[in-house]
Structure formats: structure tokens, C-alpha cells
Structure 1
């Protein structure tokens, strides 16, 4: 599949487009954790030479998304359990701060977008559409961080989400019985507190939500790695 012009801005270089598309595939789970990546196969898939692919892999290694092992190969990074926990600790801090900052801003556009997100999320949960709800979860968290209006927070958050390959972990979390409904309720609680301009409580509840998500993720990861009888 050759890269289309809409994978990045029109003026971006081919290398930047390769980086953006490979980053997307890794963070979305299209490339599985631990998967071997072939420069030649990627170059053929993207319709480019091996040079932009090689440079893209170097960049993604600096972001913690791939691991280049000399004379062995290149692999999608597979975070250890400890790394997942550590990254979730930082996610809790950043999203809690984002909720507090958004509550302090008053009536801004992100609040209406979050409200619309929850309307659709309620429908998805009620219909048992877990894949759709997972997409809405990602959007909710992105909107929350966007609403913080803090570029440094947003930059650190984006790096963190890439390293977590969070889209994949969301699906793991929501695979736990009852978690989609509980997650949806927690999102409503956070938004209610933000609308009430109660920044301290919004931060506290958001942090509790992230911890609940972490627990569900770890249960799912344990189930996936446990030997089957």
C-alpha cells in the first residue's frame, strides 16, 4: 500500500509520512507487540525505498516504539508489566491535571464535544458495541487533554500514549466483564465535576478512573499470558 497524501500535511516529506503511518500502525495495534519489522517488506508496502523506512525506524526507536537489535532485527516494543504500571502512573498524573485545568477554564468548546462523546458512548455501551466504545474512550481522553490548553502537558501525554500503544490496552481493559459500563459511568462523573468547576474533585475522580483502567488492563494481560489447561 503506497502512502497517500492525507497521512500527513501536504508539505511533509516522504520520511515524515512514513514515520506517521508506522507510528499509527504500532499505536493502534496493527503491528503487534514483539512483531518483527522488515525494512524491505515495509518499503514495498509503502511504495518507497528502504532509506525513509530505515530513518523512520530510528526515529521510532527514540520514541520507544520499536527496538533495533544489531544483527538480529527490528521489533515492535513490548512493554513489560512494570513498564505498563509506570506509564499508567504518569497517565494518571497527566490526565488528572488535565481534568483540573479544564474545570478552571469555564465554558469552552471541549465541554460540548465531551458531552456529545458521552451521548454516543452511552448508546455504544447499551448496544454492546465494545469496539465502537473503545474508539470513543480514546476520543474522550484526547478531548480532555486538549481541553487543558497546556501544550507541554499535551506533548508529554502524546509521547506517553504512543509508548503505551494505548489503543491496544483500551481494548484489553474493556474486555473485562462490566468494565465498559463502569468506564462510561466514570467518564460522566468526571465531566459533571468539570462542568461544576470543581477542579480538585475532577482531578481526584479522573485519577481514580485511570487506576481502575490500569487494574482492568493488568487483569487482561495476566489472562492473556497465563497457561491454559
Structure 2
């Protein structure tokens, strides 16, 4: 098996098709596979050193992520994500995360709020350090989102957020290079916003909690857009950049 494909601690909990799908997704985002390119099962099976079964499963996973189109009797073809598509994904993510924060502010348990407080404390500690790898800082950021999603009390929303996070283009892009939290200032701002979110949730300020978590996701989106614009030489359609007014 191609040893580039299946390394990494985070891969230990993933199936072989999921790991292969992650790697192919990164190759699409990095431009190795272009929009409209066919993906042939046998070539991929030889490259990754597996049978065609895992490749077929990986292709289906990539179709769910919106990175491939499978045409009957013709095969799978690449859909290269545009910068506008990436912005759209995170607008949806922000809306769902904000709604989950609003639910948690209304019905979050003391235990769940305690778990959230632990993550916020970890972010504050990391933000005070001079040199922190972005991937180290982003891990508790994702945990914060996961805690809010898991404890929103809305099972339908929780499942939708789980699926969105699992198939998010953000994770694919981060697999190529860091896109946020590159500076101490950004890390410090995230820590401040997270503390404000915790306070809003723990005191039942549901509208403020929703706005704060949406803004956290929007800020990460905007930082990523800035870097992607440089990498691709593309600009995002301004109509794709959503923001909310502060509810106070």
C-alpha cells in the first residue's frame, strides 16, 4: 500500500476507504486531479495497493463530499471545489453551529458546560504560548464545536452537524496546509471569543451564544479564504461572505 496514503495518528480510527478518500480529496484540492478528470478504480487500486472494493467505497465517500460525480456506465469524474463552494460550506456550518449553541444555552447540562469550560481553558493556555503549531491549536477548537453539537439537545441537528464536520472541505484543506491560527493574535482572539461563548451559554443568553459561535466559524472561514486566495489566485464572490449583526 502507498505509505503516503495511510499514515497519521488521526487515521487510526478511520477505515481504509475513508483514509483513501481523504488522500484523494487532498489531491483534488491540491490540483493533482483537475475538474472533469476521470478516476479509474484499477489505477487507484494499484496506486494504493488495495483491491477495487475499498476504492469503490472511497469513491462513494468522495461523491457524498461533493468532490466527485458518478455517471452511470461512465464512471467517476472530479468536481474541483471552487473558493465560492468552500465559502458556502462554511456558511452552512456557521448557521448550524450557531443554532446548536442557542439550544445548548437553553438546555445544556452542568456537566456539558463543564466540559466546554475545560476546552476553553485549554485554548486560553495555548493562546498564551509564544509558538504553538496551528494544528495543535485547532484540535481543541474542533472539540469545542463537537461539544456544542453533542449537547445541543436536538438529535436531528446533532446528526446533521456530525455529518457536515465529517465531510467538511475544511478538514481536507487543513490536510494540505494550515489555514488559520497562524499568528498569536488570531489564537488570542479565538480564546477571547470562546470565553465569551462559554459565558453566554452558561448564563442562558441564547441569542448571544448563537451569534458568537457563528462569528467564530465566520472568522476561521475568512482567514482560510485569505490564504486560499493567495494559493489559487482566485477571489471569492462577495455575496458568499455572510455576517450577522451583533445582538448585544
**TM-score where L is the length of structure 2:** 0.71
- For residue 83 of structure 1, report the CA deviation from its aligned partner: 0.9
**Structure 1 vs Structure 2 CA RMSD:** 3.2
Which position in structure 2 is the counterpart of 1:213? 220
How many angstroms apart in 1 are the aligned matches of 2:19 and 2:150?
22
- From the two aligned structures, give the one with the greater helix fraction: 1
1:49 pairs with 2:51:
yes
How many angstroms apart in 1 are the aligned matches of 2:23 and 2:140?
18
Instruction: Decide whether the 8 Å contact of 1:175 with 1:220 is kept in 2.
Output: no
- For residue 46 of structure 1, report the CA deviation from its aligned partner: 6.3
Which position in structure 1 is the counterpart of 2:66? 64
Instruction: Select 1:146's aligned residue among 137, 143, 150.
Output: 150
Structure 2 residues without counterparts, runs of 5 or longer? 7-11, 34-38, 235-248
- For residue 99 of structure 1, report the CA deviation from its aligned partner: 0.4
1:11-160 paired onto structure 2 within 5 Å? 17-25=15-23, 31=27, 33=29, 34-36=31-33, 39-40=41-42, 43=45, 48-67=50-69, 75=78, 78-127=80-129, 128-129=131-132, 130-160=134-164
How many angstroms apart in 1 are the aligned matches of 2:122 and 2:47?
35
Paired residue secondary structure (1:19): helix
- For residue 223 of structure 1, report the CA deviation from its aligned partner: 2.1
> How many residues matched?
214
Instruction: Decide whether the 8 Å contact of 2:63 with 2:69 is kept in 1.
Output: yes
- For residue 150 of structure 1, report the CA deviation from its aligned partner: 2.1
In structure 2, do the counterparts of structure 1 residues 67 and 109 end up closer, same or farther at CA, with 3 Å as the change threshold?
A: farther
In structure 2, do the counterparts of structure 1 residues 225 and 48 end up closer, same or farther at CA, with 3 Å as the change threshold?
A: closer
